[in-house]
Amino acid sequence: MDDLDTLTTSLLAEIGRAESAQAVEELRVAALGKKGSITLLVRTLGAMDAEERKAKGQAFNVAKDRISAALDARKAEFSAREMDARLAFEKIDVTLPVRHEAQGRIHPVSQVIEEITAIFADMGFTVAEGPDIEDDWHNFTALNLPPEHPARQMHDTFYLPSRPDDGTSMLLRTHTSPVQIRHMMSGKPPYRIIAPGRTYRSDSDQTHTPMFHQVEGLVIDRDIHMGHLKGCLEEFVRAIFGIPDLTYRLRPSHFPFTEPSAEMDIGCTRGGGELKIGGPDWLEILGCGMVHPKVLEYAGVDPAQWQGFAFGLGIDRIAMLKYGIPDLRAFFDADVRWLRHYGFSASDVPTLAGGLVR
């Protein structure tokens, strides 16, 4: 027993004197390791008779626990000290002025999202968001897309593996329109939002990529009519392209979630393989219409009291048109040389005409 007491006392003293985490670790091995002094002492229990083993065994355990606890505590002290030292050393002075690195560039899609957001913010719109991975109900059903609608086909939409519980499949949203539903269900009317984001379709050629970007717009109030839709979109196309008298037309069309529906064309000039905004030709730019009463109903909004319009447009195409970028696929190649050429400076404040006077 005396051996144990002496050993314990001297070990505890040594632990107290240890000057580094490594010294503590060495002491742990020396005491509790395979050939450690305590371990060897514990082994002598084997040679004792049952009575003696019982009495001493307990004392051994107590000693072992004390030493172990002392080792842990000492080690924790060193870790804390080390952390303090690192924190002091790695301190960042957040009051230093920003260093303008010429390296990073803003992707044209991000730039155009900022520009579109700025235009609609001036008209009182806020930005709403929804998930890229949607369910069938938000993407199709609640938007009044019937089961036989082609957009629902396997070869048009990316479906995730079906869920084992109910057999339904989540999907990559094919448009930003489900955000209309999510936004209406998240609060009471009136609503005035845009929802920019990624969208996905099983499509790939020079002018289509499987992932692309859209902005949705939704305005619901007591007496919103097509005149508001027209005024709002006129303001938008003229602002985004920086052409105050840009011609446009609303051409009757069909979407299951709007009634009546229209597509908006803007004036353009074609020739020599080039496409310029402004001119006698027409270029289709977006889909829009008055939100279908059934859609309002699905979203829990009373169509007898509320009505309004929605629109959806492709962001990537706007970026290509506005900044003269010929190939859509290059948008998503992550080629730094391309980004250096077509990208925008990170320290630029996004302005409506920012890119035009670059």
Contact set with ligand PHE (CB under 6 A):
175, 177, 255, 258, 287-289, 310-312
Angle of CA points 124, 129, 130, to nearest 5°? 145
Query: Closer to ligand PHE at the Cβ: 149 or 163?
Result: 149
Cβ at position 287, least distance to ligand PHE in Å: 3
Query: Closer to ligand PHE at the Cβ: 184 or 310?
Result: 310
Cβ at position 298, least distance to ligand PHE in Å: 15
Cα separation, 314 vs 286, in Å, equals: 7
Query: Closer to ligand PHE at the Cβ: 74 or 201?
Result: 201
Quick one: tokens of 309?
């319009």
Cα separation, 152 vs 158, in Å, equals: 10
Query: Closer to ligand PHE at the Cβ: 38 or 232?
Result: 232
Residues 6+ apart with CB under 8 A from 278: 241, 243, 246, 247, 267, 268, 269
Query: Closer to ligand PHE at the Cβ: 106 or 232?
Result: 232
Cβ at position 292, least distance to ligand PHE in Å: 9
Cβ at position 223, least distance to ligand PHE in Å: 19
Cβ at position 289, least distance to ligand PHE in Å: 5
Place of tokens 């717009």: 217
Query: Closer to ligand PHE at the Cβ: 130 or 287?
Result: 287
Distance of CA 141 to the CA centre of its chain: 25
Query: Closer to ligand PHE at the Cβ: 287 or 355?
Result: 287
Cβ at position 294, least distance to ligand PHE in Å: 14
Pairing of strands 191-200, 344-345: unpaired
Cα separation, 297 vs 303, in Å, equals: 7
Cβ at position 352, least distance to ligand PHE in Å: 23
Residues 6+ apart with CB under 8 A from 328: 206, 207, 208, 209, 212, 316, 317, 320
Query: Closer to ligand PHE at the Cβ: 111 or 199?
Result: 199
Position with the least CB separation from ligand PHE: 312
Alpha helices in the chain (DSSP H): 2-17, 21-32, 37-43, 50-89, 108-122, 136-139, 178-185, 226-241, 293-298, 315-323, 336-342
Contact 301, 316 (CB under 8 A): no
Cα separation, 116 vs 216, in Å, equals: 11
Nearest residue to 129 (alpha-carbon basis) of 170, 173, 190, 168: 173
> Which DSSP state fits 18?
-
Contact 258, 292 (CB under 8 A): yes
HSE-CB for 54 with a 13 A CA cutoff: 2
Query: Closer to ligand PHE at the Cβ: 31 or 264?
Result: 264
Kind and range of the H or E run holding 150:
none
Cβ at position 312, least distance to ligand PHE in Å: 3
Query: Closer to ligand PHE at the Cβ: 115 or 263?
Result: 263
Cβ at position 262, least distance to ligand PHE in Å: 8
Cβ at position 286, least distance to ligand PHE in Å: 7
Q: How far apart are the first and last CA of the chain?
A: 87
